[in-house]
Amino acid sequence: MARTRNSDGYPSFAVTVDLVVLTVRDDELQALLVSRGEEPYLGRRALPGGFVRPDEDLPDAASRELAEETGLHQVPGHLEQLATYGAPDRDPRMRVVSVAYLALAPELPDPRAGSDAAAATWVPARRALSQRLAFDHHRILRDGVERARAKLEYTGLGAAFCPPEFTVARLRRVYEAVWGVELDPRNFHRKVTGTPGFLVDTGRTVVEGPGRPAALFRADPAAELSPPLTRARLG
């Protein structure tokens, strides 16, 4: 494997960004995976990602890759740094340090087949985590899913999985899908509407099938839930 030093005499690394992109589709937490079109791990599923450019900041590289994979610019939802993975043997070609980002997106149109990525597809998180992925992407995906689950507890981040305006039931199904639990609709409603600043009532309602029309809300993206919703206690 290449172990080079750059022109200044410091050890030389390649730097990539890898993306854990999560959404809730069909009441299920799903992750975006690509199929690798080259060695190593040819044909294996992997997280979308790519090399950081020489003059590109890390968040910019993450947004760029996300836009390339999903075909969407100005990705709605949420993008945050997850963690960095740099084991010396994680890429057999050379020393690569990967900065992983976590993106939470509302249900998007199917990934662009015509885009840069090789067949990016949504895969249920449970299934994605039960198959072999390229590199150390299994661990990165696991860390990303766990981060998302944890963050829903104490932030209003669940709304990042919803379109700009949504009902309480929609938000509740997000929590149920991400945590894999059932929540009491009445207590959930009281909790989220009673947290000051979390949800903003638009004054409008929507009818979705039978039942009383539901109020439409908008999310305050920076809201914190205090006290938190707790996976262990809700139900």
Q: Which does 43 bind (CB under 5 to 8 A by kind): a second copy, DNA, none?
A: none
181 binds DNA (CB under 7 A): no
210 binds DNA (CB under 7 A): yes
Helix (H, G, I), strand (E, B) or coil at 161: helix
| Dihedral angle computed from the Cα positions of residues 174, 178, 182 and 187, in that order, rounded to the nearest 10 degrees | -50
d(CA 186, CA 169): 10
Are 52 and 135 in contact by the 8 Å Cβ rule? The answer is: no
Find the binder of DNA among 84, 115, 121, 193 (CB under 7 A): 193
Indicate whether 78 belongs to the interface with DNA (CB under 7 A): no
Looking at residue 164, its amino acid is P
Q: Is 227 a binder of a second copy (CB under 8 A)? A: yes
Contact between 169 and DNA per CB under 7 A: yes
The interface region with a second copy, picked from 37-45, 82-90, 159-167, 173-181 by CB under 8 A, is 82-90
Q: Which segment (9-17, 27-35, 163-171, 194-202) binds a second copy by CB under 8 A?
A: 9-17
C-beta of 56 vs 68, nearer to a second copy:
56
Cα distance between residue 47 and residue 119, in whole Å: 12
φ, ψ dihedrals at 94, nearest 5°: -170, 180
Is there a cis peptide before residue 40, judged by omega within 30 degrees of 0? yes
Please state, in angstroms and rounded to a whole number, the distance separating the CA atoms of residues 49 and 164: 26
Per CB under 8 A, the segment of 105-113, 118-126, 168-176, 221-229 that binds a second copy is 221-229
Residues that bind DNA (CB under 7 A): 167-169, 184-187, 189-191, 193, 205, 207-215, 227, 229-230, 233-235
